[in-house]
Amino acid sequence: MSEQDYGFDTLAIHAGAQPDPATGARATPIYQTTAYVFDDADHAADLFALRSFGNIYTRIMNPTQAVLESKVAALEGGTAAVATASGHAAQLLVFHALLNPGDEFIATRQLYGGSINQFNHSFKSFGWKVAWADADDVSSIAAAVTDKTKAIFIESIANPGGRVNDIEAISEVAKKAGIPLIVDNTLATPWLCKPFDHGANIITHSLTKFIAGHGNSMGGIIVDGGNFDWGKDGKYPMLSEPNSSYNDIKLYETFGNIAFAITCRVLGLRDLGPAISPTNAFNILTGMETLSLRMERHCENTQKVAEWLEANDKVEYVNYAGLKSSPYYDLAQKYTPRGPGAVFTFGLKGGYEAGVKVVSGVNLLSHLANVGDTRSLIIHPASTTHSQLTPEQQSKAGAGPELVRLSIGIENVDDIIADLDQAIG
Amino acid sequence: MDHTTYSNAYISDILQSVKTIALVGASAKEVRPSYFVMKYLLDKGYKVIPINPGMAGKELLGQMVYASLSDVPEPIDMVDIFRNSDAAGPITDEALTLDPLPKVIWMQLSVHNEEAAAKAEKAGLKVVMDRCPKMEYGKLSGEWARVGGSTGNISSKKQSMHESGKMQSLGLAPK
Ligand SMILES: Cc1ncc(COP(=O)(O)O)c(C=O)c1O
């Protein structure tokens, strides 16, 4: 029986996680080691030359991490995955594999504020240029394509705006331009949305959020869709051209449909170094076993909280794609039929001050900068995550002064609503 | 048969039943995929016979190189083609003149030749196109998971070690 025949929950528990070959341990052990002995000199040479699959050094691979990678690859329907220290590290490795100095990529403005910072500021010092486009206007994405454009980056469900993107329409633009579509699937998780089914070529995640799910471990991952031809036009030299740090092997020619993941590992992790810790990989694996159960409850609670807020007369608007009033309702029905996640925003009639009052007044919800925890979380982006952006960028990113972001947890929903009720006043 | 996807059972049956593999387009260059694959298959216990007219009579990884399939003095179970799609036609034709016939024609990643595939299948051979036996072996044995690959299998049985001691293997050594 092959993996395609198993259901999501079976894969979430079993994929990649066979009993340990050395001890028979049923749960995946934490391989807390930095290095691995070689059998002999020939074995060592084969590993270093990439002729064999095996363990060398934990900056590049680790058996606990490998279980996590196989599992996420299976759940997303990809060919292989590479786990990293954080979601941002995953994004860094993806662009490091694709871009040379002077190259460009297109990203939609409606992104997690941290990604906007990473692309605008840190990436500039690598000579990588981001061109911003509007996720709601696919023609603006097409118009931003130049002969230097190497990729398009979007979020499936955008943080923090409660919007769902038209992945298929955007993937058509990418196909026409002959470049890969990268989808950050953090807020959806593969339980709610499967971007590879809609034309994505690479998926990234911050595992820190719903996939780990318990607010206790940092991690990120890159999933290779195995569905892009890296060799066709020499646009991606790290994949298609001889690599002098590996005796001139060509990674795409050698590794075919896992070449992108291999490149991120043997060049990205090896040289940039953002390895996930084995203990964090273990914590994330434990969280993942209940992914669908948690996501079901997250979505059920979120729908109720959003409906309650929409009926509250101190609330000006609610941006949740599960509400019929949302302009993204139809896209959500198509791309996230089980629910458009648990992160959304609402605006208070009282503006900036009212936002500050709510985050100060909550007792059950936690005021912090994170999403995707079992606990319900609240933040006022204008004074925190989006404070580095100009007011125009804040509004374009969907984070104006009156706006509050929620990440609804899996507590009893009546308690979440009661806490918001007393804090809004 | 349809050659867009192959079941695990189809590939595993091939990799477990063949013993002698003629590798057409073998290379002495250590960075070529054909060299990687030849070394890997030898490590797994297959007999691999390199075919390369320019190197005929020499040894590669300890194996005698022959100029063509017809020169090989022993029965071949599988012909692994490391040449372009057009060249796969005449190579398959030559394979079909061998006595005994090989059991499998395997064309490497990015090599497709529908006409050759149809001829070979008509003669009773199994055909695989656009795949790499190293990668398929790695998937089926679980080794792929070591580099984050999605292996296509799940199991609640303890993983066993390959007899070489180098790799995990689910008993995928040649039968
Ligand atoms: C959608 C999205 N992508 C990426 C990231 C970055 O992930 P990390 O914090 O794990 O680096 C985050 C973090 O909030 C996020 O929400």
H/E element, B81:
strand B78-81
Rounded CA-CA distance A340/A188 in Å is 7
Q: Cα-atom radius of gyration of chain A, to the nearest Å? A: 22
What percentage of chain A reaches a pLDDT higher than 70? 98
B36 chain-A contacts, CB cut-off 8 A: 50-51, 254
Q: Rounded to two decimals, what is the model's pTM?
A: 0.93
Query: In terms of Cα–Cα distance, which of A71, A12, A66 is closest to A278?
Result: A66
User: What pLDDT does residue A387 have?
Assistant: 77
Query: Inter-chain contact B150–A73, Cβ cutoff 8 Å?
Result: yes
**Gap from B156 CA to chain A (nearest CA, Å):** 6
Could you tell me the distance, in angstroms and rounded to a whole number, from the CA of residue B71 to the centre of ligand 1? 60
User: What pLDDT does residue A397 have?
Assistant: 66
Choose the residue to mutate in A91, A115, A280, A343 for probing ligand 1, maximizing ligand atoms within 8 Å of C-beta: A115
Rounded CA-CA distance B42/B21 in Å is 10
Q: Would you tell me which CATH number, out of the four given (3.90.940.20, 3.40.640.10, 3.40.50.620, 3.10.20.520), belongs to the domain A7-287? A: 3.40.640.10
Could you tell me the distance, in angstroms and rounded to a whole number, from the CA of residue A371 to the centre of ligand 1? 9
pLDDT band at B172 (very low <50, low <70, confident <90, very high): very low
Q: Is there a shared CATH topology between the A7-287 domain and the A291-424 domain?
A: no
Cβ neighbours for A327, distance < 8 A, ≥ 6 positions apart:
none
B158 chain-A contacts, CB cut-off 8 A: 18-21, 24
- Nearest residue (CA) to ligand 1, atom 6: A87
Closest-approach residue (CA) in chain B for A51: B36
Judged against a pLDDT cut of 60, whether residue B161 lies above it is answered with no
User: What pLDDT does residue A388 have?
Assistant: 76
Judged against a pLDDT cut of 80, whether residue A139 lies above it is answered with yes
pLDDT band at B147 (very low <50, low <70, confident <90, very high): confident
Rounded CA-CA distance A336/A132 in Å is 25
Question: ipTM of the predicted structure?
Answer: 0.83
Could you tell me the distance, in angstroms and rounded to a whole number, from the CA of residue A190 to the centre of ligand 1? 16
Mean pLDDT for A354-361 is 94
Q: How far is CA B70 from the centre of its chain?
A: 18
Cβ neighbours for B8, distance < 8 A, ≥ 6 positions apart:
A2, B139, B140, B152, B153
Judged against a pLDDT cut of 80, whether residue A402 lies above it is answered with yes
**A302-335: pLDDT as tens digits:** 999 999 999 999 999 999 999 999 999 999 999 9
Stretch 83-102 of chain A: residues touching chain B, C-beta under 8 Å: 83
Q: Is A65 in the pocket of ligand 1 (CB under 6 A)?
A: no
User: What pLDDT does residue A160 have?
Assistant: 78
Q: Is A88 in the pocket of ligand 1 (CB under 6 A)?
A: yes
Give me the CATH code for the B8-142+157-169 domain, please.
3.40.50.720
Judged against a pLDDT cut of 50, whether residue B175 lies above it is answered with no
Q: Is A159 in the pocket of ligand 1 (CB under 6 A)?
A: yes
**What torsion, rounded to 10 degrees, do the Cα atoms A105, A109, A110, A111 define?**
50
Rounded CA-CA distance A80/A130 in Å is 27
Q: Is A187 in the pocket of ligand 1 (CB under 6 A)?
A: yes
**DSSP per-residue letters across A310-374:** HT-TTEEEEE-TTSTTSTTHHHHHHH-TT-S-SEEEEEETTHHHHHHHHHHH-SSSEESS----S
> Which of A21, A61, A73 shows the shortest C-beta gap to B168?
A21
Judged against a pLDDT cut of 80, whether residue A120 lies above it is answered with yes
Could you tell me the distance, in angstroms and rounded to a whole number, from the CA of residue B22 to the centre of ligand 1? 49
**Gap from A38 CA to chain B (nearest CA, Å):** 9
Closest-approach residue (CA) in chain B for A253: B33
Query: Inter-chain contact B145–A50, Cβ cutoff 8 Å?
Result: no
The residue ranges of every structural domain in chain A are 7-287, 291-424
Choose the residue to mutate in A159, A165, A276, A370 for probing ligand 1, maximizing ligand atoms within 8 Å of C-beta: A159
- State the SS3 of A186-224: CCCHHHHCCHHHHCCCEEEEECCCCCCCCCCCCCEEEEE
Rounded CA-CA distance A397/A390 in Å is 10
Name the fold adopted by A291-424. Answer: Aspartate Aminotransferase, domain 1 (3.90.1150)
Q: Is A206 in the pocket of ligand 1 (CB under 6 A)?
A: yes
User: What pLDDT does residue B160 have?
Assistant: 63
What does pLDDT average to over chain A?
94
A107-116, B47-56, B147-156: which range is least confident on average? B147-156
- Nearest residue (CA) to ligand 1, atom 14: A370
Mean pLDDT for B112-128 is 97
Long-range contacts of A41-50 (CB under 8 A, 24+ apart): A43/B166, A46/B39, A46/B43, A49/A246, A49/A247, A49/A249, A49/B30, A49/B31, A50/A246, A50/A249, A50/A254, A50/A262, A50/A266, A50/B36
Query: Inter-chain contact B30–A247, Cβ cutoff 8 Å?
Result: yes
User: What pLDDT does residue A1 have?
Assistant: 41
Query: Inter-chain contact B150–A247, Cβ cutoff 8 Å?
Result: no
**A170-218: pLDDT as tens digits:** 999 999 999 999 999 999 999 999 999 999 999 999 999 999 999 999 9
Mean pLDDT for A107-129 is 94
**B41-87: pLDDT as tens digits:** 998 889 999 999 999 999 999 999 999 999 999 999 999 999 999 99
**A2-41: pLDDT as tens digits:** 445 799 999 999 999 989 888 899 999 999 999 999 989 9
A70 contacts chain B (CB < 8 A): yes
Mean pLDDT for A294-309 is 98
Judged against a pLDDT cut of 90, whether residue A250 lies above it is answered with yes
By CB neighbour count within 10 A (0-12 exposed, 13-18 middle, 19+ buried), where does A415 fall?
middle
